[in-house]
Amino acid sequence: MGHDKMISIRATRLSPSPGWAVMQRHLIDKMNEAAPVFQERYARSDGTFIWRQTWPGMDGSDDGYESYHNWPLFYALGGDEDVYRRSRFLWEAVTRQFTEYGQVWREFDAYYDWMHHGESSIYFYYFGLADPTVPIDRARTLRFARMYMGQDPDAPNWDAEHRMIRSPITGSKGPRLENSWDDWATHRAVLAHYPAPFEDIPGVDGPIADWNDDRVYAEILRLLNERQMQGDVPLNLTATSLITHAYIYTGDAPYRRWVLDYLEAWADRIRANGGWCPDNVGPNGLIGERMGGKWWGGYYGWRWPHGFMTIIQPLTIAAMNAVLLTGDMRYLDIPRGQLDRMMELGRIEDGRLLIPHRHTDAGWTDYRPMMPECPLQIGFLSEDPKDAERLDRFPERRTGWREVLPGRGKGDDIHIAPYYTYLKGEHPDYPQQILEAQWMEIAQRMDRMRHDDGDPEQWDIHHWQEINPVHTEALIQLTCGGPQIIYHGGLLHVRLRYFDAEARRPGLPPDVGALVRAMDAGSIDVTLANVNPLHERRLIVQAGAFGEHRFTDATDLSAESRAPVPVGDRHVSVILPPGRSIDLRLGMQRYVNPPTYEQPAF
């Protein structure tokens, strides 16, 4: 719909600039300044990291991409176009550098698992939000998707007959059905601290196996190849984001069908396994086929190395993608079933809900606090009272969820719980607290960078991502109405997006702050403020990250007359004269439009 046909609403309230809006603009300004400084400190003129000349094994490129992964998202939220240009230049540089190292081939990881593919791909997905008209991004998206849909003879990752991905380790060179000695070279020291992947490793007595011991490592590698490398695992469901990403570009039905068919194949396996998600499916599509009939013990499964996290996250990511593609909330029952079963096994200790995170031959073990991320993600998406009831079963819901912790976490996503309490009206100071916390994180990271005098040859692969000064969690939550993505490969599920109608680009216009104050299944309340006393700002508000929702009506709650204005579109235009602000209530039908990266006609 053209801009001249959009419903337009003009703000009339003149008031002092809200503190949260001033702080938002300050945060954006400081990240705009910090990003180039970070690049110039850690990258050469060609964009490659100032680092070592060689890097062995199959790991690492994901960490390279993670060092800048949220820069195009920051631009899409309102950051400078310069940061976006740099993000494109640096994506190409990471791809080139790790191609030379040997991890990347044909611009995609040659072979690795989908926890790591998911981490590296979110950078690439955000380009669609930033500018969907770039031909190379669309071409790469469709080329990468073909690698997982059985359409690329050089990457035969998909088994159409059994509706499965053929190995836990896949990529642009196809399934890695047998690991080599060098594949795990960079991980041996790390994995030596995790529980062993198997209970019957020759010469290993106890829960820990020393991967640094060549003899032990040889036995582990043999068992990995015999038991885990041929067949499917739940972690591969994260590939649905790549195929959904292709659908959002094109709207072509085969991508949608692939996502739904693959998720439903896993739902069938869960039903066949008595309601528990199996963590290994053999090359003939049989549960436990290479594990002596056991439904646990697969790669990144119930036992090793992380347990429950790498079961529930991909199930949740895939189910949310399916809802995005269909509007059918019943897909959320797939991860809900696992959550409910785990909570039934749980117990309360010291005011926390503990659940078993691992299943071994002896049964359920490793009781630890249950992370609320996936239940919260499902609750935000569904707005279903039953999902809210599940959240109320966490004792921490009444005690610890309001705390705004320092830092940002690897996924810039550690504040989803206090954000939830804010939207429930229980934490009114949250916007100020999260903005202050993220400003402090920028300051601390820039201070660390100024004193970073170590030898780049000795830097860990995670070095740069731990100093990246761009943070988006506060901006996503406060302006868009939704949580940060599930980090290991999720897509963005929020209520609102913004476009600068004057600059004809995505993101909040200069001087404009936005604060989502409340939302439910059928509406969202947002305050928009122009902190500039001299210049008018015009913006377009979109229903959903991908226009998947539709505005039914708009009400100016800050005006004397509060009569709703019919909208019936995925966009509404808002005019903010100098120093004006507006409280809007936007009625909304959710998940009624096919998701698209197409931006509004300005």
Average pLDDT (120-140) is 98
Percent of the chain with pLDDT over 70: 99
Q: What are the C-alpha distances in Å from 142 to residues 27, 165, 198, 228, 288?
A: 35, 18, 38, 29, 33
* pLDDT at res. 459: 96
Q: How many CA atoms lie within 13 A of 114 on its CB side?
A: 30
pTM, rounded to two decimals: 0.98
Average pLDDT (55-84) is 97
Residue 560: which pLDDT band, with cuts at 50, 70 and 90? confident
* pLDDT at res. 208: 94
* pLDDT at res. 602: 86
Helix, strand, or coil (residue 142)? helix
Percent of the chain with pLDDT over 90: 97
pLDDT surpassing 50 at residue 1: no
Angle between helices 239-250 and 309-326 (to 10 degrees): 20
Q: What is the pLDDT of the chain when averaged over all its residues?
A: 97
Terminal CA-CA length for the chain: 9
CA angle at residue 244 from 284 to 148, to 5 degrees? 35
- Give the whole-angstrom CA distance, residue 47 versus residue 94: 8
* pLDDT at res. 3: 43
For residue 540, the cross-strand partners are 499, 573
Helix, strand, or coil (residue 307)? coil
pLDDT surpassing 50 at residue 349: yes
Helix, strand, or coil (residue 593)? coil
Q: How many CA atoms lie within 13 A of 288 on its CB side?
A: 11
pLDDT surpassing 50 at residue 534: yes
- Give the whole-angstrom CA distance, residue 363 versus residue 543: 46
Q: Which amino acid is at 59?
A: D
pLDDT per position as a tens digit, 384-437: 999 999 999 999 998 889 999 888 888 999 999 999 999 999 999 999 999 999
pLDDT per position as a tens digit, 79-128: 999 999 999 999 999 999 999 999 999 999 999 999 999 999 999 999 99
For the domain spanning 4-12+496-589, the CATH number is 2.60.40.1180
Domain ranges of the chain: 4-12+496-589, 179-228
pLDDT per position as a tens digit, 478-489: 999 999 999 999
The enclosing H or E element of 14 equals strand 13-14
